[in-house]
A and B are shown apart, each in its own frame.
Chain A
Amino acid sequence: MTVETPVRFSPLDGWQNTFERLPEGLDIREIPFLTQLSLRVEPGSPAARAVEDTLGIALPGPSCADMSGEVKALWLGPDEWLLVAPPDRSQDLAGRLRAAIGDAFATVTDVSAQRTTLSLTGQLTREVLARGCAIDLDPRVTPVGSCVTTLLAQAGVSLVVRGVGASSVWLLVRSSFASYVATWLVDACTEYRGGS
């Protein structure tokens, strides 16, 4: 018996039309279905080195992300990273990491559907985020590659600075909060849309 792969739905399925009506200066897209693995390992330990060898990158330090490769690493805590890769790579990636870690103590957990990823770009991004986020997005304070876990309005998010002066960011948000965050972002643009 052949079973078709089911049709997937991302948390912000159906929002793209709304996002397309945003004012010039802010572009929002959901990047759905990314592979996301929670990596817990003591930095500098043999297990961490094994992970780094497997990934081909150094695990980034506090409040930083390495976005250079296909597998991106976001620092979330002193011994915690979120590994982000293209869709449908979790089994393969987790398997390779676990094999590399071997008997050492480090854990990998598939959390791919736990969060969805929003890409925000445009010169309004920083000001829109300032309406609900206390993080200072000045490029002198949070250069490209900064990664912080914080609140946007009343929802927890992980924010990665991808363009200078937050002209481009990723927001990773828990799936259940995604529609709240989307609603908040669209409402935050009310003033730029002009009176109508």
Chain B
Amino acid sequence: MSNPFRTEDHGHIDRGTTLSFVFDGVTYTGHPGDTLASALLANGVHTVATGIKYGRPRGIMAAGVEEPNALVQIEAPFPEPMLTATTVELYDGLVARGLGGQGRLSDQPDPARYDTMHAPCDVLVVGAGPAGLSAALTAARSGARVVLVDELPMPGGSLLSGRQTLDGAAATAWATAVTDELAACPDVTVLSRTTAFGHYDDGLVLALEKRTDHLGAAAPAHVSRQRIWRIRARQVVYATGAYERPVAFDNNDRPGIMLAGSARTYLGRFGVVAGRRAVVFTTNDSAYHAVLDLADAGVRIAAVVDARESVPARLLAACAERGIEVRTGHVVTGTSGIERISRAHVARFGHDGLGERQGVDCDLLLVSGGWNPAVALFSQAGGALAYDPEAGAFVPAGALPTVRTAGAARGTTSLAGCLADGVDAVTQALSALDRSVTPAPSPAAAAAPPAAPGRVLWRVPSPQDGPDGSHQFVDLQRDALVTDVFRATGAGLRSVEHVKRYTTIGTAHDQGRTSGVLTSGIVAEALGVDIAELGTTRFRPPAVPVAFAAFAGRNRGELFDPVRVTALHPWHVEHGALFEDVGQWKRPWYYPREGETMDEAVLRECRAAREGVAMMDGSTLGKINVQGPDAGVLLDRLYTNLMSTLKPGRIRYGVMCGVDGMAMDDGTVIRVAEEEFFLTTTTGNAARVLEWMEEWLQTEWPELRVHLTSVTEHWVTIPLVGPRSREVLALVAPELDVSNDAFPFMSWRDTTVAGAAARVCRISFSGELAYEINVPAWDGIAVWRALYAAGAPFGLTTYGTETMHVLRAEKAYPIIGQDTDGTVTPQDLGMSWVVSKKKADFVGKRSFARPENQRADRKELVALLPADERRLLPEGAQIIATSTVPAPPVPMLGHVTSSYRSDALGGTFALALVRSGTRRIGETLYVALDGETVPVTVSEPVLYDKEGARRDG
């Protein structure tokens, strides 16, 4: 199969290799080097999509990321929605179809790899056109570390589109030679198929590299498909080129209407003529490059319609030489055709308005309204833009200390100017880095005559009856019309930012590259204000669409979030534990025996702890070593109770509050020595508590001589719990006198457990006789195994977090963050005893005196016993006073915070925060559930061993 619209000799494609692809169900061919768009055009296919709102047929309007129309869904080899046909490199076996604005996410997981690479450098150059290449080369020759990124598969940028020469040879040969030299430099990284999409603080630029997309099904699975480069550059040069701007006129959205420069690119880069008979509508000199290139490639130019009264004689002469009619002072007012354009309507457009219309037959209408420098990234970096009235464009107002622009990105139009620009910008950049440069002479470009001024023309008035602009599309992807802009200004909107939100112009995948400045121009005209004052909308990252998969990179599956495990983890896995995620930790949840349900396993584990002996892995508890002469002073100020009076060898429970007096963490404090304490925090708060303590120490009390050191992971902590725990401990700690008198509750001893140096604390989070055995983490498994073996004759049972919760809840030991929510004081938890009356001050103390904290109807922690002891209340359920739910608003008395089945109590129970809870003890309240209420009796929170008789065994 041949491509009817392919030329014999233009372009950078491999005509010797044919690729087969399917679009909208039809099989076509193309060549390596094609994009999907160029291959479709080579086959004469213009209509590739439909408008999202009105369903009108849409064609290919551009040749790059600025394309507003040609959105496609890739179906094979891997499904991907909403790519622009102009940026999809063609590969064999590609199956795609056109979209009506919205794509469809695959319901299959994407098997491809995505990854990230950090790339620090001295100078980042974005864009490998003439300006970017000359900048990168100058930087590389100075010995700087350079990264050059470019979105195309080959270097050259705009040079790929035309017939320019440098030093008498094809300019693209120069581009290749420069790139070869750069690639040979050890300190230079050249990234093609890579688009910079975001400029962030401190010179961080993110770029997306499409590494294997162009290989289709042949892409190797072990190579990442796409990569996010995190480039940290000391200096950045944006040589990002410019995007051509259309002019709005009636029915300007037909297939076959294309930007003039894009048609030139299709010819120069791909060897494709986009039509046989073209009308060219321009406001400036640049479109004449397309006119001459296309005419010389055999396209019949039916007319050049130039809005200017005066056109440079050399251009008129070049056209005359080729028999091309140029109509100066004329515009295209509209188009006709069944779908694709078949006729352009041309009229004179002078000071007195539109003249008489005349039809010119064509199958291609090329439009140029001027060029907008690609300033999105420069603007993201904080660069100011200024309106250039001659170009009708916003251009960089000047360089930033670390960010510069060069070439068409700063409004330079000639090739020689772009080459010089690149050298200038990078010379300034290098000099800011104190690097000396000897710029090599730039290659000689053909002398470019000075460009004649363009005519700034945003739109052509509608010649038809009916509302002006009602068939003139501004944002083709959003199907937004000139009349939509007028509706916005008519509604009183004065800011282009507001007009953008009102009309959705510029919010599609193309970020308004062809519609943004046009909108500013139309708004300025409608309001009668200066566009320079009005400005344009802000640029925000990402500048191009980036797949979430690329952002996620390798942070998926088992690497999604770090999984933290304790030293005992392998034993838990070996013994069939199921795990609960607690923050990033994997903690054993319970250890089911064969055939056991969770309820059965937990009841068994609870019974062992209450009646025999049980142990768990408590290593995740946060642990902080506090040392220094003022350690006691610091702890007195941060805990609600007094810590400085603790004797070495003893342990005290403590609560920390925020400045608002609300409980923020609890744990135990042991006094190791006169100037050394060791405290524990809850698992989830370990880092936060250390930071909290450091913040007070460093910012409020720097005079205190205290050092805080996290030792969380140095220790494995094993709570050994139950009436027989003393006997088991005695077996593995032969040097320890375990008797109650020698080793009383809330004391600790350093000893040897199973041969390992251990710190054993008599602490109980269950109400039972219990010990917490701390050993260096690497001894953890050996000690755990020794305990397991020593405990076997006693029926020692391992238990997980669920049993831990049941045991502590039966004793009403709160979990900060589960039974509290940041609005609960120690007093609300029934722990007034932990709040010192003696201390002059501590964090949170002042707040306890606030009227709100003194209210009699504060929510307080109580227990709830369901009337039906088999009924397990859902945590979070709301509590009301009546057995039927009254009409809203329903007075809520509180909510269930913890709820379990208890082996010891022979039924279910819950903890709850209830308004005036302690005064309601004995009352019946109701838990409102979906479609019913459950009666519960309010009870003292401590339900098991109220006297505390069991803790001494």
Whole-angstrom distance between the Cβ of A146 and the nearest chain B Cβ: 14
B778 within 8 A of A: yes
Alpha-carbon separation in the docked complex, A131 to B116 (Å)? 6
Q: Which of the 9-residue segments A57-65, A67-75, A106-114 touches chain B?
A: A106-114
Contact check, A176 vs B116: say whether CB atoms are below 8 A apart.
Answer: no
Q: Which residues of B526-561 are within 8 A (CB) of A? A: 554-555, 558-559, 561
Contact check, B711 vs A114: say whether CB atoms are below 8 A apart.
Answer: yes
Contact check, B222 vs A191: say whether CB atoms are below 8 A apart.
Answer: yes
Alpha-carbon separation in the docked complex, A109 to B585 (Å)? 25
The answer to whether A4 and B120 touch (CB under 8 A), given A111-B709, A177-B564, is no
Point out the residue from B115, B120, B627, B781 that lies within 8 Å of A109, measured CB to CB. B627
Contact check, B220 vs A176: say whether CB atoms are below 8 A apart.
Answer: no
Contact check, A114 vs B756: say whether CB atoms are below 8 A apart.
Answer: no
Contact check, A184 vs B711: say whether CB atoms are below 8 A apart.
Answer: no
Interface residues on B, range: 35 or more
Contact check, B713 vs A38: say whether CB atoms are below 8 A apart.
Answer: no
Contact check, A155 vs B118: say whether CB atoms are below 8 A apart.
Answer: no
B224 within 8 A of A: yes
Q: Which chain A residues lie closer than 8 Å to B779 at the CB level?
A: 6, 8
Contact check, A3 vs B628: say whether CB atoms are below 8 A apart.
Answer: no
The answer to whether A7 and B118 touch (CB under 8 A), given A38-B709, A105-B705, A115-B713, is no
A188 within 8 A of B: yes
Q: Which residues of B729-777 are within 8 A (CB) of A? A: 734, 752, 754-756, 776-777
Majority-rule SS of B interface residues: mixed
B786 within 8 A of A: yes
Contact check, A107 vs B559: say whether CB atoms are below 8 A apart.
Answer: no
Q: Which residues of A137-181 are within 8 A (CB) of B? A: 138, 141, 153-155, 174-177, 179-180
A187 within 8 A of B: yes
B929 within 8 A of A: no
Q: Which chain B residues lie closer than 8 Å to A174 at the CB level?
A: 713
B623-648, CB under 8 A of A: which get 1 and which 0? Answer: 00101110000000000000000000
Contact check, A40 vs B559: say whether CB atoms are below 8 A apart.
Answer: no
The answer to whether A175 and B145 touch (CB under 8 A), given A5-B755, A130-B117, A195-B222, is no
Q: Which chain B residues lie closer than 8 Å to A113 at the CB level?
A: 567, 713-715, 776-778
Contact check, B564 vs A134: say whether CB atoms are below 8 A apart.
Answer: no
Q: Which chain B residues lie closer than 8 Å to A175 at the CB level?
A: 567, 713, 777
B920 within 8 A of A: no
Contact check, B222 vs A177: say whether CB atoms are below 8 A apart.
Answer: no
Alpha-carbon separation in the docked complex, A107 to B230 (Å)? 39
Point out the residue from A107, A138, A180, A184 that lies within 8 Å of B145, measured CB to CB. A138
Q: Which chain B residues lie closer than 8 Å to A32 at the CB level?
A: 778
Point out the residue from B120, B705, B715 that lies within 8 Å of A136, measured CB to CB. B120
Q: Of B570, B585, B777, which is in contact with the most chain A CB atoms at under 10 Å from its CB?
A: B777
The closest CB in chain A to the CB of B619 belongs to A176
Q: Which chain B residues lie closer than 8 Å to A193 at the CB level?
A: 222
B69 within 8 A of A: no
Q: Which residues of A41-71 are within 8 A (CB) of B? A: none
B185 within 8 A of A: no
Alpha-carbon separation in the docked complex, A131 to B117 (Å)? 4
The answer to whether A40 and B707 touch (CB under 8 A), given A6-B783, A180-B562, is yes
Q: Which chain A residues lie closer than 8 Å to B221 at the CB level?
A: 195
Q: Which residues of A4-31 are within 8 A (CB) of B? A: 4-11, 13-14
A100 within 8 A of B: no
B232 within 8 A of A: yes
Alpha-carbon separation in the docked complex, A174 to B622 (Å)? 13
Q: Which 3 A-B pairs have the closest CB atoms?
A: A6-B782, A136-B120, A176-B564
Contacts A40-B707, A131-B118 known; list 19 others, CB within 8 Å. Answer: A1-B734, A6-B755, A6-B756, A8-B779, A105-B629, A107-B627, A111-B711, A111-B714, A113-B778, A115-B713, A130-B118, A130-B119, A132-B554, A134-B118, A176-B585, A180-B559, A188-B554, A191-B224, A195-B220
Q: List 12 A-B contacts (CB under 8 A).
A: A6-B779, A11-B777, A105-B628, A114-B714, A131-B116, A136-B120, A176-B565, A177-B562, A180-B559, A180-B562, A188-B554, A196-B222
